[in-house]
Amino acid sequence: MTPFGPRLHAALADRGRMCVGIDPHPGLLAAWGLPDDVTGLERFARDAVAVLGPLSPVLKPQAAFFERFGSAGVAVLARTLADVRATGALALLDAKRGDIGSTSAAYADGLLDPASDLAGDAVTLSPYLGLGSLDPFVTAARAHGGGLFVLALTSNPEGAAVQHARSEDGRSVAQGVLEGLRALNREEGAGPLGSFGAVVGATATLPDGTDASLLDIGGPLLLPGVGAQGAGVDDVRRLVGEAAPAALPSTSREVLGAGPDPAALADACRAAQAQAAVLGGP
C-alpha cells in the first residue's frame, strides 16, 4: 500500500489544504435542529461527510463525540469513517491514544489495521509515556500505509508546562518529539512528505531558543484551532515559516456552523479551502 505521506501529498494538491473536523458537539447538534442522541449523531455526521468529503483533502472525526454515546456511538463512528473514504477524502481519526506495550499494540491494530472498522488513514496520538511507547503504532503505520499525528505543541495554556520543559540535555520535550518524528520520516524516505506528522496548535508558541525550523520534520503538521478557536491562516503561516508546504490547518465549528443547509455548508468549506491556499502548494 502507498504510504500515508504520499497519499496526503496528492490529496493536498488535488483538494486544497484545509482539514475539516467532524465534531458532533451537543451545541452543533442543537444548532442543526437535531436531538442529542444517537439518531442526531448519525444524521449530523453522515450529512456533514456527504457535503464536506468531496471538497476536502482530509476529514477528522473526533472520537470523543461519538464515544460519549457508548457502543451505539462507536458504531456510528465506524460508519462515518467508511463514509469519509467513500468520498475520496482521507480519514484522520482524532483519538489521541497513547499507552505502552501490548496495550499500545492493541490500540494500533484497532485504529490502523484496515481489518478493523474503526481504522483511519491516520490517527492522532499522545507521546507522553515516552515517544518510544508509540513504536507499535509506527510498526502498524508502516505495515498498513497509515499515518500518525503526534501531539507536540498544543495551544492549551497548561500544555506548555510539559511541552516546553527541558530534559537533562537542554532540549525541550516538544523538541525531542519533533526530532523523533523527523528521524522516522527520514527512515521512511517516501518522497516529498513523510507519514509521521506532528500536532501543533495554530495558536501555540515555540519553546524559547527555537524557531520555525524546529517544525521542519519532513512530515505533515496538523494545525487545529483555525476559525472559531481564534487563529487564522496567516497565524499558521507565521508559526510554521518555511514548513508551510507541510501544513494542514484544521477547522471545525467555523465550517460546521454553516449547516445543516448543504449549500451553505459547501460554501463555508470552499471559503476555508480558499483561505488555506495562501500556504502554497504541497
| Among candidate residues 259, 220, 230, the one with its CA nearest the CA of residue 48 | 259
Active-site residue, selected from the candidate residues 25, 46, 85, 96: 96
Grid cell at residue 169: 540535555
H helices of the chain, in order, are: 4-15, 26-31, 38-52, 63-67, 70-87, 101-112, 135-144, 159-163, 173-188, 233-240, 253-256, 262-276
For residue 237, the tally of other CB atoms under 10 A from its CB is 18
Grid cell at residue 76: 456510528
CB 104 within 8 A of CB 75: no
Strands 122-125 and 19-22, by their bridges, are unpaired
From CA 196, how far away is CA 5, in angstroms rounded?
8
From CA 76, how far away is CA 229, in angstroms rounded?
26
What sign has the CA pseudo-torsion 64, 124, 97, 161?
Answer: negative
Q: What is the number of H-type helices and E-type strands within the chain? A: 12, 8
Contacts of 241 (CB under 8 A, 6+ apart): 211, 212, 213, 215
Phi, psi angles (nearest 5°) of residue 153: -135, 105
Task: Please confirm, yes or no, whether 60 is among the known catalytic residues.
Answer: no
**Residues with active-site annotation:** 96
